[in-house]
Amino acid sequence: MFSESPTLPPGIVLDLQYLPSLEYFTALVKYERVHVEANEHFQKQTWRNRCQILTVQGIDTLIVPVQEGRSKVLIREARIDYRQPWVNRHWRAIQSAYGKAPFFEHYGEAIERVYQKRPAFLFDLNWELLTICLNSLRWKKIITFTEGYEATPGQGFTEGRGVIHPKQPFAQRPFYQSVFYPQVFGEQFFPNLSILDLLFNQGPESKSILRQSVAS
């Protein structure tokens, strides 16, 4: 799977996350080749099924519930639990947080349509949302899925699976540096939120801000 020649540009292997953080997108900027891990086991308490947005009360963590079952389930077989009213909770929180943001009307409808489709699997939900975000940024980034699980990435690829993690501050990793942009609420700037925060607040300028946010 990872048999590319070492003369090719550097790449990274990433897990697929839910409405990913700015740090995740700076990793996409930094590496020309991106493999998304499609054959790992689902891991709880990670960004695979959660994100953070900024509300009038502060940072809000949105979590997509996954059906309980076998102790180890492949990421593409992790089913979303629609018995819990998480869809209304997430969309209402996003509307409340960004309804008055300058570019909410430009991007909000496409995000809402994904929720309305109610994808059965977490992987599909995350991929549809990531695709919309990349299209909103007008990025023609080529992302491929892994064909099988390998514990160690091949030559020329950086290990990014599980590296961007909620329990560790972004400053400890080599991807993201905080760059200020105006946010909806308050005077304090909150870095590294979901890409939604940047898109809804900065629109077409989001791509430029992400490039500036790549850690040197």
First and final C-alpha spacing in the chain: 29
Within a domain: residue 4? no
Q: How many domains does the chain have?
A: 1
Q: What is the mean pLDDT of residues 7-27?
A: 93
DSSP for residue 9: P
- Write the CA distances from 15 to 50, 98, 159, integer angstroms: 13, 27, 10
Within a domain: residue 195? yes
pLDDT of residue 3: 46
| C-beta of residue 183 within 8 angstroms of C-beta of residue 190 | yes
Tokens of 94: 């996003």
Domain with 129 in it: 11-212
Within a domain: residue 3? no
pLDDT of residue 140: 85
pLDDT of residue 2: 46
pLDDT of residue 12: 96
pLDDT in tens, 173-216: 999 999 999 999 978 999 999 999 999 999 999 999 999 999 98
Distance separating alpha carbons of residues 199 and 44, to the nearest angstrom = 27
pLDDT in tens, 50-67: 999 999 999 999 999 999
Within a domain: residue 23? yes
pLDDT in tens, 119-168: 999 999 999 999 999 999 999 888 999 999 999 987 889 999 999 999 99
Within a domain: residue 6? no
| C-beta of residue 41 within 8 angstroms of C-beta of residue 74 | yes
Does this model's pTM top 0.85? My answer is: yes
Could you tell me which residues come within 8 angstroms of residue 191 by beta carbon, excluding any fewer than 6 positions away?
22, 170, 176, 178, 179
